[in-house]
Copies of this chain bind each other. A is one copy, B any other.
Amino acid sequence: MEEPGTALLSDLRAALGAEAVLTDPDVTAAYARDEMPLAPSGKPLAVVLPADVAGVRAVVRCCSAAGVPIVPRGAGSGISGGANAIEGCVVLVTTKLDRIVEIDADNRLAVVEPGVVNLKLREAVAEHGLFYAPDPSSFDWCTIGGNLATNAGGLCCVKYGVTADSVLGLDVVLADGSLLTTGRRTVKGVAGYDLTKLFVGSEGTLGVITRATLALRPLPHAPGTLVAAFGSSRDAGAAVSGVVRAGLVPSLMEIMDATTIDAVQRHLNTDLGAGTEGGTLLLCQSDVGGEAATAELAAIAKVCEAAGAELVHATDDFAEGELLMKARRSVHYAISAYGATMTDDVCVPRTRIAELIEGCERISAEAGLKIAVCGHAGDGNMHPTVVYDAAVESEFGRAKRAFDAILELGLSLGGTITGEHGVGKFKQEWLERELGPIGLDVHRRLKKALDPGNLFNPGSMFSLD
């Protein structure tokens, strides 16, 4: 009898050429996981790298006929296991579809293939004085396809929204291999259901995105930066609420708790000037330029002072601002120096940030584990990170319980279990809980309607029964 999948492999090689179909386990292993080490992954039957939409359609048709699931994947920078392989699946990598097809500066839009790296698009449109806003932390290596699949966020969201807010239309290969075009090239349009937004954030469970029309914005000015130090997370939280209440819209507003500050100070061997031990830092930027930026930062400074800031420093010097931003950007590495980490992604109403940080302190004390909290204060999307010793068996369970307690806390504060990282193969039970039985049932009905054979990323996000 033939090995299972032999016929499929031969079909895939015929369609794509042998060099685009990888089966060597040492090679395919590199495509079997994303950046979330805790999510399960299986061994793929093959990894395929089609170079155009015809190739993607051929892969979908072949796998559909063979009843072999497809896991679509970009660069693999995801942190929810959404791109992790399923045992015996075909991993469909979209990185070879990497053309910037068009930049239409006069209509402020770009047409791109999914394999284009976020940074490459940002640089290309900047040459036209334009700005592609979504900026996930992995912007220098993640792909637009992955950004679309996860509806990626970033530091820009407080002012410019998430990936979905910059998408006008998509080409998507459906489970039967047909090519759906959604949306439009115009700024507005209400012809039919909003299929574009249905596919954005569907984490590869409904189809494979092969092209996207993206909305661009005028390139903002180099930002001015403000840092404010508070004696407590409560004061910092009050400042965040105050900024929102005052109608201010900074282009960035990040928060770092005492544990995070301590880690960053050790990592960078510097003093962030956070003042009192147990203090909290708020980092804000304004990109409106010139006097308007100075005025915006001055207004934010005033709010911070009224909320009890111990120190406020604003600068319109871009280089100095970048140094301050370096502290924020190094958080992940600084905390990783302590041990293994589990990074949460709860998003709470902006007024509840202080409660979330205080709750994390309580959970940390109960678990006997370090929890560092930082996040996008401007939109309430917080990333508490639980640190544990992977070599001590009991610590993993304790860390996971702390991680879950943070999600529980986030929901109890009126929040969501994922602000920007997604559900993937890691938070399915939590999604079920957040959606409730009716919401879950609607998800299943939509999935069955568009992917009746459960071809795409089955079991990711939610299961069909």
Instruction: Tell whether, in the assembled complex, residue B190 and residue A442 are in contact, meaning their CB atoms are under 8 Å apart.
Output: no
A213-237 near B? 1/0 per residue, CB < 8 Å:
0000011000000000000000000
Chain A residues near B (Cβ < 8 Å): 104-108, 129, 150-151, 153, 157-158, 162, 164-165, 174, 178-182, 184-195, 197-198, 200-202, 218-219, 241, 244-245, 247-249, 292, 347-351, 376, 378-381, 414-423, 430-431, 434-436, 438-439, 442-443, 445-446, 448-450, 461-462
Q: Which 8 A-B pairs have the closest CB atoms?
A: A218-B247, A449-B449, A197-B197, A187-B379, A189-B416, A445-B449, A186-B347, A188-B419
Query: In the complex, how many angstroms separate the beta carbon of A100 from the nearest chain B beta carbon?
Result: 18
**Complex: how many Å from CA A150 to CA B350?**
30
**B contact residues around A351 at 8 Å (CB):** 104, 106-107
Question: Known contacts being A218-B247, A244-B108, A247-B218, is A193 close to B198, with CB within 8 Å?
Answer: yes
Instruction: Tell whether, in the assembled complex, residue A422 and residue B190 are in contact, meaning their CB atoms are under 8 Å apart.
Output: yes
Question: Known contacts being A197-B198, A461-B192, is A186 close to B442, with CB within 8 Å?
Answer: no
**B contact residues around A150 at 8 Å (CB):** 190
Query: In the complex, how many angstroms separate the beta carbon of A269 from the nearest chain B beta carbon?
Result: 33
Instruction: Tell whether, in the assembled complex, residue A195 and residue B349 are in contact, meaning their CB atoms are under 8 Å apart.
Output: no
Q: Closest B residue to A449 by CB, please name it.
A: B449
**Complex: how many Å from CA A350 to CA B245?**
35
Q: Closest B residue to A379 by CB, please name it.
A: B187
Could you name 23 residue pairs across A and B whose Cβ atoms are closer than 8 Å? A105-B245, A106-B241, A106-B245, A107-B349, A107-B351, A151-B194, A157-B187, A162-B190, A180-B438, A180-B442, A181-B438, A186-B348, A187-B378, A187-B379, A188-B420, A191-B430, A193-B202, A193-B446, A197-B197, A197-B198, A218-B247, A446-B449, A448-B449
**B contact residues around A200 at 8 Å (CB):** 194
Query: In the complex, how many angstroms separate the beta carbon of A212 from the nearest chain B beta carbon?
Result: 16
**B contact residues around A186 at 8 Å (CB):** 347-349, 379-381, 414-416, 419
**Complex: how many Å from CA A192 to CA B218?**
31
Instruction: Tell whether, in the assembled complex, residue B193 and residue A423 are in contact, meaning their CB atoms are under 8 Å apart.
Output: no
Q: Closest B residue to A218 by CB, please name it.
A: B247
Q: Closest B residue to A434 by CB, please name it.
A: B191
4 new A-B contacts at CB < 8 Å, known A191-B418, A192-B435:
A104-B349, A106-B351, A180-B439, A193-B198
Query: In the complex, how many angstroms separate the beta carbon of A123 from the nearest chain B beta carbon?
Result: 18
**Complex: how many Å from CA A197 to CA B197?**
7
**Complex: how many Å from CA A153 to CA B190?**
9
**B contact residues around A248 at 8 Å (CB):** 218
Instruction: Tell whether, in the assembled complex, residue B197 and residue A418 are in contact, meaning their CB atoms are under 8 Å apart.
Output: no
Instruction: Tell whether, in the assembled complex, residue A201 and residue B190 are in contact, meaning their CB atoms are under 8 Å apart.
Output: yes
**B contact residues around A449 at 8 Å (CB):** 445-446, 448-449
**Complex: how many Å from CA A57 to CA B127?**
54
**B contact residues around A419 at 8 Å (CB):** 186, 188-190
Instruction: Tell whether, in the assembled complex, residue A421 and residue B190 are in contact, meaning their CB atoms are under 8 Å apart.
Output: yes
**Complex: how many Å from CA A44 to CA B348?**
45
Instruction: Tell whether, in the assembled complex, residue B194 and residue A198 are in contact, meaning their CB atoms are under 8 Å apart.
Output: yes
Query: In the complex, how many angstroms separate the beta carbon of A240 from the nearest chain B beta carbon?
Result: 10
**B contact residues around A381 at 8 Å (CB):** 186-188
**B contact residues around A153 at 8 Å (CB):** 188, 190
Instruction: Tell whether, in the assembled complex, residue A193 and residue B187 are in contact, meaning their CB atoms are under 8 Å apart.
Output: no
Question: Known contacts being A153-B188, A190-B201, A245-B105, is A442 close to B450, with CB within 8 Å?
Answer: yes
Instruction: Tell whether, in the assembled complex, residue A192 and residue B423 are in contact, meaning their CB atoms are under 8 Å apart.
Output: yes
Instruction: Tell whether, in the assembled complex, residue A187 and residue B420 are in contact, meaning their CB atoms are under 8 Å apart.
Output: no
Question: Known contacts being A241-B106, A247-B219, is A188 close to B162, with CB within 8 Å?
Answer: yes
Instruction: Tell whether, in the assembled complex, residue B247 and residue A185 are in contact, meaning their CB atoms are under 8 Å apart.
Output: no
Query: In the complex, how many angstroms separate the beta carbon of A231 from the nearest chain B beta carbon?
Result: 22
**B contact residues around A446 at 8 Å (CB):** 193, 198, 446, 449-450
Interface centre among A165, A179, A350, A416 (most CB of B within 10 A): A416
Instruction: Tell whether, in the assembled complex, residue B245 and residue A194 are in contact, meaning their CB atoms are under 8 Å apart.
Output: no
Instruction: Tell whether, in the assembled complex, residue B195 and residue A201 are in contact, meaning their CB atoms are under 8 Å apart.
Output: no
Instruction: Tell whether, in the assembled complex, residue A244 and residue B416 are in contact, meaning their CB atoms are under 8 Å apart.
Output: no
Query: In the complex, how many angstroms separate the beta carbon of A423 from the nearest chain B beta carbon?
Result: 6
Question: Known contacts being A193-B202, A200-B194, is A416 close to B184, with CB within 8 Å?
Answer: yes
**B contact residues around A461 at 8 Å (CB):** 192
Instruction: Tell whether, in the assembled complex, residue B436 and residue A181 are in contact, meaning their CB atoms are under 8 Å apart.
Output: yes
Query: In the complex, how many angstroms separate the beta carbon of A297 from the nearest chain B beta carbon?
Result: 15
